[in-house]
Amino acid sequence: MTHLNRTSLYFTTMLLSFAPLYANAPDRAFCEKILAENKFFIDFINSGVSNFAGEEHLKVFRSAALEHYKAHKEYLSGHYKETHAHIRESQRILKDLYLEVLNEYYQKDTRELLERNAAMIVETKDVRAAHFMRLGYRDLKVSEIYEGKGYNHNKHLYSTKIWFYIDAIKYARQAKRYAFLAIIESQTPYADKDDFKVQTIDDYFNRPEIEKQRDFERVQIKLMNLINRKLVVNNYNFFFHHYDNYGYINSSRKNQYEEFVAAQSSETLQPLKNPPPP
C-alpha cells in the first residue's frame, strides 16, 4: 500500500469515526429550538385554558403538556429522534386545542360583548366610543382572517398553524379591550373627561405630574370607578375578562400548567411499588 493510499485511508477512518458526532449536533440544536417553541405554545394557551376551559379541554391540554414532558426527558437522554416525535404529537394536539379555544371562548365572547353594547354606544352619540367600537369590530374581523389562514395552511405544518392561531387570539383579545374602552368612554360623564375639564392656564402648567400607569391598571381603575358609581352594570363579569385580555390567570382559577407540573413531580417522587432487591 502506498503512502498516499495509507494517508487517504487514515483520513477516511477519522471522518467515519466522527460522523455520529457531527450527525447529532444539528439534531440536538434543532430539538432544543422546537422544545423552546413548544413551551411557548403551551405557556400562551395556558392562561386561556386556565381561565375558561371545561374538563374536556383541560384533558386535551394535559395530553399536550404530557407529550412535551416526554420530549424533554428524551432530549435530556440524547434521544433526539424520540424528542422530535413527542413534540410533533404535542403540536398535533395543540393545533386543534388552539382552534377550539379561539372559536368557543375568544371570538364568541368578543362578538357577544360588541353586539351587546353596540346599540348603547350608538345612542350616546359619543364619537370616541363609536371609534373604539369600530376598532373592536375591525380587530375581530382580523382575528377571523388569521384563523382562516391557520385552518387552511398545510395540514402537516403544525407549528405554523399554531402561530396563526396565536395572532388570531391576540387580535380577539385586543378587540375585547376596545369594547371595554368604548363602554368606559360612553358612560364617563363629560365633567370627568380630561378633554372637557375647565381649567385655567395656571392650572394647566402647574398640574402635578401624573403617575404613569400600565394600560391594565388604568382600565381596571376606570371600570371599577364606573361600576361603583352605578354608571355601568357589571353584567359581563368585566374584571374576569379584563385579566384574560392581558394574559393573566384569574385568582379564582388554578394555573393548569403548574398543576400538571406538580402532578408529574409527585409521581416522580413516589417510591417504587416493587423495588429491586439490594
Q: What pLDDT is attached to residue 107? A: 95
For the segment 185-222, what is each residue's pLDDT rounded down to a tens digit? 998 886 666 655 555 666 656 665 555 668 888 888 88
| Rounded percentage of the chain residues whose pLDDT exceeds 90 | 55
Of residues 197 and 48, the one with the higher pLDDT is 48
Residue 57 pLDDT > 80, yes or no? yes
The one-letter amino acid at 143: S
pLDDT digits (tens, 9 = 90+) for 70-128: 999 999 998 999 999 999 999 999 999 999 999 999 999 999 999 988 888 888 888 99
pLDDT of residue 234: 81
What pLDDT, on the 0 to 100 scale, is given for residue 215? 85
Q: What is the pLDDT of residue 198?
A: 58
**Residue 168 pLDDT exceeds 90:** yes
Q: What is the pTM of this model?
A: 0.80
Least confident piece of the model among 6-20, 30-44, 48-62: 6-20
